[in-house]
Structures are given as structure tokens and as C-alpha cells.
Amino acid sequence: MSNIDNTIEPDALMWKFFDNEASGEEKTLLLAWVKRSDENKRLFQEARATYVATKYPDVDAAFDHDRAFQAFTRETRAKTFPIKLVISAAACVAVLLGFGIAYLTMKPSVTTYITYASGQTDTKEVSLPDGSSVLMNRGTTLGFADNTKETREVKLRGEASFDVKHDPAKPFSVFVDKLQVKVLGTSFIVDAKPGCDSVIVRVLSGRVVMISPSQSLILSANQTAVYKKTGDKLLPVSNFDKNAISWKTKELYFNATPLSKVAQTLGEYFGKNIVVAGDDVARYPLSVQLDNPNLDSVLQLLQLTFNIKAVKTDSAIILQENKINN
């Protein structure tokens, strides 16, 4: 490959240019060289493809190199470059202006994320770079886009409670598949557990907007809605189940609740498989409020209240009738 001006090697200059580190004069020289022949254009395209594959491997497959080069040639087609490399200042300005537009068109837009994850047995609280705080339920991951200027974006997999710092200039959005939950500053919970067809949004304070491909729904404090992925439906829920957010509040509420439902709620809270044996036992009603409950203490309470016993096995905790004391 011949040098551009017997002192500058095209390969080195092209990579410097792709990194946006080339000077104005170097950009002008490179443009003139690319326009000289079809072979130079081909070499430029190949270098661009190599650069993208090296610097941005995650987006290379989706990057349209032909379209990028077409944009480059459209911006430079009307320009004429003298064979000699001595160009007037006015011509340099015109060339560089067209070149800048082409470069922005060609450069791949890559959003990078700061990733957070909670363990399978514990919740985790994190502070996001914008000052918002997030409490993640067990087995949750989220990514915060750290290079967006006009918005704050989070990708969620699992369940998390958000306390968003108010910033009208930069809306905060949580994305789960095709659903967007958008706010300015408020607190809310998004339940998007893997494998579920539904995404549940519960608003604790302020207001949020749920946006799907075909609908939108505004929720205020103490309101809940469900997004059904199948069918793309947004459905408001009439009641606000406090036990659904017990992993955050550390409180459980039961009001004449059948023991079968109590066992299910306790199982979700403690991450255990808790079941009831016997239809009669399953219907026992429980009314109690538990603050920061402990599993052994709760099981002892149930055994004393209903004269039942809790049998622990490797796979489950079974609540059954205590026939010995009958």
C-alpha cells in the first residue's frame, strides 16, 4: 500500500481517524486518498470493518458497513479534491464539515451498561450513578446505561424496588422486554421474574407511565398494573397486595387468610417450599401482622395457634395435623 504523502501510512491514519483522534489536516489527507481510486475505497471499507469488529465486537454483526460507506460517499460525492495536497483554508473547512457528518453516521452507537446483581438467597441495595437507589430482590440483575446524555435507562431481569432521584431534564425508564416504565422521580416496584408471562408494576409514591408497543397506562401511588407479554395487554389491578412487597418492607399481613395461602406467602418470603397437608388444615384462618419475621418463630406460632406440626424434609416444610395431641 502506497503512502498518502510519502510520510503518512494509510493504515495508521485510518485507525487514528476511526478513534476520532486525527487532526483536521490528517482527515483532509485521508479523504483525498480515499477518493483517488476504487481500490483505496475498498481498503478503507475493509479497515473500517476490522476496526468495528475489534472495538465493538458485540455490535459488529448488526453494523451495516455498506450503508455506512454509502453515507460516507453521499457526503463527499459533491466535493472535489485536488491531486495536490495543498488546499486552501476555505476548502478545508467545507471538506471537514462534510466529513464530520459522514463520520457521525458511520460510527456505531453503542450503549454500555453498569451491571448489578443480587444473590439467589439475599436481597441487595445499590446506588445508581444518578443518585437513585435500588433494592433488588433475590436472583435479580439490572443494567444502568452509563453513556446516555438525555435519559436514564435501566434494563431489568427479576424484581426490584426503585427510589428515583427527581430530574425533569432526564426521565428515568425501566425496560423489560417490550415494556417501558417511565418516571421523573418516584418510588415503585417492577416484578419481572424470568419465565413469567406477566410484568407487575406497583407504585409506592408519585406516578409512573407504563408503555407497551400498543398501549400506555398511568399509575399513581398505591396502584398496581400487570403487563401481559402474550397479547401485549396492560391491565390495572384493583387491590394493592402489601404481602407482594414484603421482601422490601419486611412485613406480612394476614386477615382471616386460609393457611394454604399463608403457606404460599411464607414460602415466597423465605424462599422455601412450604405446603399444607389436608383440606381441613388448609382452610384454617390466620389473622396476624408479622414484623421482620423469622421462619422458626413463625412456624412455632402456627403450631401453637392451630395445634399442627411442621415437618421439615430435604425438599419442603409440611404443615400437617398434630394427631398425637388429639
Domain ranges of the chain: 10-106, 113-242, 250-325
**Helical (H) or strand (E) element with 219:** strand 216-220
240-279 per-position pLDDT tens digit: 788 888 988 899 999 999 999 999 999 999 999 999 999 9
Q: Does domain 250-325 have CATH number 3.55.50.30?
A: yes
Indicate if 250-325 has the same CATH topology as 113-242. Answer: no
| The predicted structure's pLDDT at residue 68 | 52
Fold held by 113-242: Jelly Rolls (2.60.120)
Q: Is the pLDDT of residue 73 over 80?
A: no
User: Model pTM greater than 0.85?
Assistant: no
23-50 per-position pLDDT tens digit: 777 777 878 888 888 887 878 777 777 6
State the pLDDT confidence band at 80, using cuts at 50, 70 and 90.
Answer: very low
Please state, in angstroms and rounded to a whole number, the distance separating the CA atoms of residues 307 and 326.
9
Higher pLDDT, 85 or 227: 227
Please state, in angstroms and rounded to a whole number, the distance separating the CA atoms of residues 310 and 312.
6
Cα–Cα distance list, 186 to 39, 131, 210, 245, 255 (Å): 57, 13, 14, 16, 30
Q: Is the pLDDT of residue 286 over 60?
A: yes
| The predicted structure's pLDDT at residue 146 | 84
